[in-house]
Amino acid sequence: MIRNVGPADRVVRIVVGIALAGFVYLGFLDNIAAIVTGVVAAYLLITGLLGRCILYQLVDIDTTVQEQPYSTTDDRAGL
């Protein structure tokens, strides 16, 4: 299973998923809104914990790849 969700994205997904689950649990939402919010919260928590997102795969997004900073000889020399 190839991961396509990076570390920062995973943290955000888990925090938002917990917050949405809290809204549903505390009863701030009614009926259909609570169901939709619960499904979104579950999806965010699962993708955050597993590190793999089906929607990212469909759109070909990969947040695990971080761009490396450009290094010059001056940087390596400590100048």
Tell me: the pLDDT tens digits for 10-25? 999 999 999 999 999 9
Contacts of 8 (CB under 8 A, 6+ apart): 63
In the chain, pLDDT over 70 holds for what percent of residues?
82
pLDDT at 45 over 80: yes
- Give the pLDDT mean for 56-61: 87
Instruction: Note the residue count of the chain.
Output: 79
At 78 the pLDDT is 58
Place of tokens 């089906």: 54
CA 79 to CA 77: how far, in whole Å?
Answer: 6
| Alpha-carbon span 59 to 72, nearest angstrom | 34
